[in-house]
Amino acid sequence: MTIYYSLTFMLLAAEMATFCILVAPLPYGIRKRFFRFLSESPFIAKLAYGIKISFIFVGVLFVDAFQRMVRVAAEADLAKTSGSGVQDVRSETNFAARRFYAQRNTYLTGFTLFLSLVLTRTFYILLDLIHTQEEYAKLKQDTAKSSRGQVASQDQAKQIEELKKKLAASEEKVKDYNIVKKQAEQNAREYDRLATDFNKINGSVSNKKAD
């Protein structure tokens, strides 16, 4: 295996390891810090930029390997249709090796490109999931605060209703007191009038006796 296909295989192995780490059942706190580090770290951003450039070369290798595989398949079909008779064992072995290497390189580069797309999509899906969980937690806290505020407002409403009832009862007592006060004033005036009349009558009787 040449050096660039060896590097492609190492890149594929790194992608597989990264994918296993991403989908591992980690606790929410660890997963949150890990994804925040991956999405906000400048070193990871530079590394991702370099990997994107390497995928361009992997794409070129994929096209080249695919063309070689098609060429080898065409040569195999041509050899079968020509029917040139008995072939040399070395030539058959060489042809089989060429076909194997062409297919291997095609699958290696193809799976590397495909897994890069899957890895990128999985990363952003999990990142969106973490953001959604954070928003849900904030919404849950806000809902709890608002519910506590509603309970407090309900308690205040009950207190206001009780105060209104007490105020109405006090007003009724004040009305009753005013009525009693008016009756007492009327009784006092009536008593004064009767006392005055009584004094007048007693005064006139005493004057007649004196005469």
User: Does any domain span residue 24?
Assistant: yes
pLDDT of residue 175 exceeding 60: yes
- pTM of the full predicted structure? 0.57
pLDDT at position 163:
77
17-23's contacts with Cβ under 8 Å and 24+ in sequence apart are: 18/119, 19/115, 19/118, 19/119, 19/122, 22/119, 22/122, 22/123, 22/126, 23/122
User: Does any domain span residue 28?
Assistant: yes
User: Does any domain span residue 54?
Assistant: yes
Would you call 62 exposed, middle or buried from its count of C-beta atoms within 10 A (0-12, 13-18, 19+)?
buried
Q: Can you tell me the distance from the alpha carbon of 76 to that of 95, in angstroms, rounded to the nearest whole number?
A: 8
User: Does any domain span residue 30?
Assistant: yes
User: Does any domain span residue 34?
Assistant: yes
pLDDT in tens, 43-95: 888 888 888 888 898 899 999 889 988 888 887 777 667 655 445 666 677 77
Domain that holds residue 44: 3-157
Residues 131-137 have a mean pLDDT of 83
User: Does any domain span residue 177?
Assistant: no
The domain tally of the chain equals: 1
